[in-house]
Amino acid sequence: MKITRELKTGVIAIAVIALFIWGYNYLKGQNLFDAASKTYFTEYNNVQGLNTASIVTLNGLEVGKVIAINFNPDPAKRGWLTVEFSVETDLEFSKNSIARIYSASLMGGKALALVPSYEGETAKTGDFFKGEIEADMIASVSENLKPLFEKVGKAVVSADSVLVGINEIMDAKTRADLKSSIAELNATISNFNAISKSVNEMVATNKVKIGNTLTNAELMTNNFAKLSDSLANSNLGTTIKNLETTVNSLNGILANAESGKGTLGKLLKDEEMYNNLTSASKELDELLREMKLHPKRFVHFSLFGKKEKAYVPETDVEVEK
C-alpha cells in the first residue's frame, strides 16, 4: 500500500500537535503519561516566589507539582493567592495535613512540602489544606544572628567609649611616663635575666658542693630521726618523773625556808641569829686585822731557843731617841 504525501503530512502534523500539548502541560507541571493524580488547594498571602514549575514533596520525596497559582476572587481575602497542586501517590492522609512552602536550595528556589496528618477525615480531590511558610535558611541565620549583631554593636559602642576615655587619659605627659615605665621595666627584666644567668653559673660551679650539702642535710635528718627514736625508746618518762620529784622537793625546801623552818629558814627569818652571825663576822674580821698588824702576839718562834721576852703593850706615845 502506497502512503501518499498528504497522509504523511497529516501524521506528522498530529504528532507535532500532540508533542506540543504534552510539552505545554509538562511545563505547567502536568505529565500526561503519569498515573492519575489528586488535586488539592491551599492559600497564602505571599507565595515567596513559588511558581507553577515548583515541585511538591512528601517526606522529602517528590510526589507532584504545582499546577496553578491564582488570586482568590473572594473580596474578604483580596490579595490572597490560591495554589493548586497535584499529588501522584496512593498514600492517603487526612484533611488536617499542611502544605508548607520551603526553600529547596540555597539559590532561593521554593518548593511545596506536604506535611501529612493521618488523624481525621481522609482528604479528597479538591480539598483545601492549611498553608504555612517556612523561614528560609538566610532568614533563619539572620534571625539567629540578630542577637549576636546587637551584642557586637553594644561591644563596639563600649569599645569606642573606652578608646575615647583612653585618648583623654593618654595625654603627652602620660605617654612619656608610660614609655619611661616600659623602659625601666625592660631594664629590670634585663637585670633579672643577668641575675638568673649569674645564679645558674653559680649553681653550675658549686654543683658538687650543693650536692654534698644536701647529702649532709639528709644525713643530719636521718641522725635526728634516729635520735628521736632513741629518746622515744629510752626511759625518758622516768627521768622526767624524777626531775618532777626533785623540783617538788626543792619547792618544799624553799617553802620551809620562807616560813622560817629549818636551819636555812632560821638564817633567813631569825633576826637574833642574823645579829649573832653579823657580830661573829665582825669580831673575826677584827681578829684577822690584829693578827696581821701584830703577829708576834699570837705566834712565838725562836731558832736558837732564846727565851722570849714578856709581851709589853705598846703605848700610844712614841719615845724620843
Q: Which residue has the cell 583623654?
A: 168
pLDDT in tens, 267-316: 666 677 777 778 888 888 888 888 888 777 766 555 555 555 554 555 44
Q: Of the candidates 123, 103, 124, 122, which has an alpha carbon nearest to the alpha carbon of residue 113?
A: 103
Sign of dihedral through CA atoms 119, 125, 126, 130?
Answer: positive
pLDDT in tens, 202-228: 888 888 888 888 888 888 888 888 777
Average pLDDT (65-89) is 89
Strands 61-71 and 130-133: unpaired
Distance CA 304, CA 310 (A): 17
pLDDT in tens, 29-52: 555 555 557 899 999 998 888 888
Amino acid at 152: V
Q: Is the pLDDT of residue 68 over 80?
A: yes
pLDDT at 97: 92
Amino acid at 93: F
Q: Which long-range contacts (CB under 8 A, 24 or more apart) does 230-234 make?
A: none
Task: Determine how many CB atoms are found less than 10 A away from the CB of residue 229.
Answer: 10
How confident is residue 321, by pLDDT bands cut at 50, 70 and 90?
very low
pLDDT at 320: 40
Distance CA 321, CA 318 (A): 9
Distance CA 185, CA 189 (A): 6
SS3 84: strand
pTM, whole model, 2 decimals? 0.38
Distance CA 15, CA 21 (A): 10
Residue bearing the bigger pLDDT, 70 or 320: 70
pLDDT at 130: 92
Task: Determine how many CB atoms are found less than 10 A away from the CB of residue 103.
Answer: 19
pLDDT at 30: 56
Average pLDDT (236-261) is 79
Average pLDDT (154-173) is 78
